[in-house]
């Protein structure tokens, strides 16, 4: 297999992706020493096939680490690909690798110089069929500069320094990009431009990434409001709306079907009608909601939204996962001690427990309907477990991607 190497002066792509707490794709990670020994290229990160088989799982792929794969800093699942950012210990350059989900083949490496962290995860925009686009795009930012990479080949298409500070990840549609700022504004910017087409001032810093559902853009602010704006013009009288929650909103909103789901630090999850901002229902949690809600579909008319409420105690925190029906906001079950939801299978919901240490970290299978634990597997040797929303693909259901700091990849799936 040959790799297409593209050398570009891009600074520290995704090095701090693991620190973004608001993205549903933010990886579970454990800080690693930058001076770890790389003399032994073997890896101890692997769950045995016997253990997997005993729990109804199987190993779909296993890739041991390569020479330039050590020093993984961040992992994310986007579209049909797994994106892995690594800086081998002692190296002057890092790399962003696009790995195809279908076979774990590396599509390209994008090399970058090391000078500072990227604060937000990347996003992928794929043009509609017939749009005439020459290349689908990967977006990320460093400080106030936006980078646009060709999704197919990994070429740098363009980069542009913006004239305002960026505090959220970049999201895009066919013509523009959208981003929030700590200055309280959300911006719509035409691609390749440094000047906004429009800007909208909220009453607080914008920590949550906008959600795009063409032609609309949904924005949440620490002023406690949720806003519907137009992608081309911003606020439009008669069409745009705003809704006030009871406290700060720091988690990305999620758009599903006709609803916009927003978790607030007022202890509530809101389901808003996307057309007019009317409240479809609210769910009362037990603590502030600071993680983005995640919507997954099990079967026809069985759509669930999962949210985690975090109660901060004197020396610890208590994280409680709630499973809620999308249609009416009814709680199905709850479970404490959950760090994140990572995948949905045929009958199981897979989560990562909220472990006190690496050695205690486990992949836990829960019954989708009842929340009862079916089994758990220790995964302390893996550092990154990205969220797999399955992209509507039955083939991807129940797949769990486990990645270690040394570049080891093990992909698990439910046995058919």
pLDDT of 20: 35
pLDDT higher than 90, residue 258: yes
Is residue 366 situated within a structural domain? yes
pLDDT of 394: 67
Q: Which of 28-32, 45-49, 329-333 has the lowest mean pLDDT?
A: 28-32
Is residue 41 situated within a structural domain? no
Tokens at 259, concatenated: 């609803």
CA distance 245 to 107: 43
Average pLDDT over residues 149-173: 92
Average pLDDT over residues 151-171: 92
**What is the percent of the chain with per-residue pLDDT over 70, rounded to a whole number?**
85
pLDDT of 373: 97
Which residue, chain included where needed, has tokens 């090095």? 15
Average pLDDT over residues 31-60: 69
The model's confidence at residue 9, banded by pLDDT at 50, 70 and 90, is very low
* Number of folded domains that form the chain: 1
Is residue 344 situated within a structural domain? yes
pLDDT higher than 50, residue 1: no
Is residue 382 situated within a structural domain? yes
Residue 28: DSSP 8-state? P
pLDDT of 241: 98
Q: Which of 4-18, 94-108, 258-272, 343-357 has the highest mean pLDDT?
A: 258-272
CA distance 17 to 36: 20
pLDDT of 342: 96
Is residue 40 situated within a structural domain? no
CA distance 193 to 186: 16
The model's confidence at residue 13, banded by pLDDT at 50, 70 and 90, is very low
pLDDT of 113: 65
pLDDT in tens, 349-403: 999 999 878 888 999 999 999 999 999 999 999 999 999 987 656 678 899 999 9
pLDDT in tens, 199-217: 999 999 999 999 999 999 9
Is residue 212 situated within a structural domain? yes
What is the average pLDDT value for the chain, to the nearest integer? 85
Q: Which of 49-53, 118-122, 381-385 has the lowest mean pLDDT?
A: 118-122
| The total number of residues written for the chain in this structure | 416
Is residue 86 situated within a structural domain? yes
pLDDT higher than 80, residue 94: no
pLDDT higher than 50, residue 7: no
The two beta strands, 362-367 and 338-344, are: unpaired
Domain that holds residue 144: 4-35+55-414
Assign residue 209 the CATH number of its domain.
2.130.10.10
**Beta carbons of 27 and 17 less than 8 angstroms apart:** yes
pLDDT in tens, 294-328: 999 998 889 999 999 999 988 889 999 999 999 99
CA distance 396 to 308: 24
The model's confidence at residue 230, banded by pLDDT at 50, 70 and 90, is very high
pLDDT of 5: 38
Could you please report the per-residue DSSP string of 344-371? E-SSEEEEEE--SSGGG-EEEEEETTT-
pLDDT higher than 80, residue 66: no
CA distance 379 to 345: 18
Is residue 49 situated within a structural domain? no
């Amino acid at each position: 297999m040959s790799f297409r190497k593209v050398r570009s002066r891009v600074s520290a792509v995704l090095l701090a992706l693991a620190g973004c707490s608001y993205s549903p794709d933010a990886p579970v990670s454990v800080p690693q020493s930058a001076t770890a020994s790389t003399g032994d290229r073997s890896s101890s990160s692997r769950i045995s096939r016997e253990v997997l088989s005993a729990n109804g799982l199987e190993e779909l792929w296993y890739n041991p680490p390569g020479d330039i794969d050590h020093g993984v800093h961040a992992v994310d699942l986007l579209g049909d690909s797994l994106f892995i950012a690594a800086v081998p210990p002692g190296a002057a350059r890092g790399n962003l690798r696009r790995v195809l989900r279908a076979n774990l083949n590396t599509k390209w490496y994008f090399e970058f110089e090391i000078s500072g962290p990227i604060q937000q995860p990347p996003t992928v925009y794929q043009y509609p069929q017939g749009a005439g686009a020459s290349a689908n795009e990967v977006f990320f930012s460093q400080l106030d500069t936006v980078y646009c990479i060709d999704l197919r080949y990994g070429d740098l298409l363009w980069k542009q320094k913006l004239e305002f500070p960026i505090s959220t990840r970049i999201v895009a549609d066919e013509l523009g990009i959208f981003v929030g700022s700590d200055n309280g504004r959300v911006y719509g910017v035409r691609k390749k431009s440094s000047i906004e087409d429009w800007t909208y001032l909220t009453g607080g810093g914008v920590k949550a990434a906008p959600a795009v559902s063409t032609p609309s853009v949904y924005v949440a602010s620490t002023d406690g409001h949720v806003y519907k704006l137009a992608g081309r013009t911003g606020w439009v009288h008669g069409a745009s709306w705003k809704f006030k929650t009871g406290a700060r909103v720091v988690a990305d909103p999620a758009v599903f079907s006709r609803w916009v789901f927003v978790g607030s630090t007022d202890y509530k999850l809101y389901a808003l009608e996307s057309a007019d901002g009317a409240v479809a229902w609210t769910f009362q949690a037990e603590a502030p909601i600071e993680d983005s809600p995640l919507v997954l579909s099990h079967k026809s008319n069985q759509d669930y939204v999962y949210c985690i409420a975090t109660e901060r105690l004197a020396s610890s925190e208590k994280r409680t996962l709630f499973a809620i029906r999308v249609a009416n906001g009814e709680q199905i079950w709850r479970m404490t001690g959950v760090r994140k939801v990572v995948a949905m299978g045929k009958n199981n919901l897979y989560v990562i427990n909220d472990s006190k240490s690496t050695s205690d970290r486990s992949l836990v299978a829960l019954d989708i309907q009842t929340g009862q634990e079916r089994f758990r597997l220790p995964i302390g040797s893996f550092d990154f477990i990205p969220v797999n929303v399955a992209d509507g693909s039955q083939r991807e259901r129940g797949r769990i991607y486990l990645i270690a700091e040394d570049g080891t990849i093990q992909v698990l799936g439910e046995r058919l």
